[in-house]
Amino acid sequence: MILESYGLDKSIIDHSRSVALLATRIADQMALDGVKLDSRVVEAAAILHDIGLAKSGGIEHCVAGAEIVRQLGLPNSVADCIERHECITKQETKELGFRDTYCDRDLVPVTVEDEILVCADNLYWIMAKGIDPLNSSAIVDFLYEYFNSAYEKATGHGIKRNHPAVERNIKIIHEFQKYLCCVSP
């Protein structure tokens, strides 16, 4: 498998497989509801979304992963989805200390496939903490703590509860909640 060939830890590989399962379940539910999407992009991006951790241990792994996927000759739609899975803007990448070459664009979801990956990746961590994916207030609390911790680690200071990165991720989860029946514990 590709992930193993890049020397990724078993826990990252297991996480990636779980995110792919969640993402494909969400995509399947959306397709049944008539939403137009490319399930092959969702599945490929989900399984490979953390491949960039082989090159970069930080938040830059999303861009590093997209570079790897492009070098492997996979479609740009898969690479773009991977690149956007951290759901942050150009300004936020600078705040988090991305190298200048990574700060030339927003890394936020553009397509429904991008949003499915963001949702599935967040859901993995939400469910790993034992939080019901339909419990909106617990999800809001978790996402705030997650992003606050990431910003604190990267910049030395936390963020406000209504930070745009938190709000963006909450919005995606809320938009997808009607499809989460297939992933509830």
Contact 3, 47 (CB under 8 A): yes
Q: What is the mean pLDDT of residues 75-95?
A: 90
Q: Which CATH number fits domain 2-182: 1.10.1760, 1.10.3210, 3.30.60, 1.10.10?
A: 1.10.3210
What integer pLDDT is reported at residue 185 of this predicted model? 46
Map out the domains of the chain as residue ranges: 2-182
Q: Among 102, 111, 105, which Cα is nearest to 89's?
A: 105
pLDDT at 184 over 70: no
More confident residue, 2 or 185: 2
What integer pLDDT is reported at residue 99 of this predicted model? 62
Q: Is 70 exposed, middle or buried (0-12, 13-18, 19+ CB in 10 A)?
A: middle
- State the sign of the Cα–Cα–Cα–Cα dihedral 132, 138, 143, 145: negative
Average pLDDT, the chain: 89
What integer pLDDT is reported at residue 46 of this predicted model? 98
Residue 105 tokens, joined: 């664009």
Q: Look up the pTM and report it.
A: 0.92
Residue-wise pLDDT tens digits, 24-54 = 999 999 999 999 999 999 999 999 999 999 9
Of the listed ranges 27-31, 58-62, 77-81, 116-120, the least confidently predicted one is 58-62
| CA terminus-to-terminus distance, the chain | 28
